[in-house]
Amino acid sequence: MDILPAIDLRGGKCVRLIQGDYQREIRYRDDPVEVALDFQKDGARWIHIVDLDGAKQGKLANLPAIKSITQATSVQIEVGGGIRCLEDIRALLDVGITRVILGTKALQDWPWFENLLQKPELANRLALGLDARDGRLAVSGWTDQTAQSALDFAQRVRDWPLAAIIYTDISKDGMLVGPNLQATEELALSTSVPVIAAGGVTTEADVRALAQLPLAGIIIGRALYEGRITI
């Protein structure tokens, strides 16, 4: 199981949002490249990047910062946030991104998503982001809550050629209160697609508990920045 340190980009800076609330921002570092290099030095094999501006605007917004990170590091990188067209996917792959995470557009336009997965050049390069609050999906940078179930979507794609499902429990994200183990396990068991979990990981005990679940990885943000966990 991989630990994926998280870099959330807003205005080219490294920040964290509390429960995805754009009004509750914690700024950690001005230079995300330095952050990425520190994670690489600490032994990270993957880095998880979220384009917060892109998630809100519905289009890729922090490509220069993302490109700088890929050029400065040798780790594998996945990126999500506002990616809703093939051009943005290709732009990310062209700068060296390993895996692109699709959320809002994929969930709202299923035929478009299915068509992407049939493209040979995108084989094993796409992940589905399922961001849930109380089991219900949130879209558009977590600003819109839906009535759709994250579990239903995980089951729907159980045999699809996806690189991963990125499952985030929004109610736990950035709160340092521990992960939702029950919901995470239930979702991971519902699909054959590798699942990477995020939200609330705070202590080494949380990491050990998640390591007992059928997960491919866990994403850690605030707890790493505040020194509560080391890679």
Please list the active-site residues.
8, 131
Q: Please, which residues have CB within 8 angstroms of residue 63's CB and are 6 or more apart in sequence?
A: 91, 92, 95
Of 58, 27, 41, the closest CA to residue 143 belongs to 58
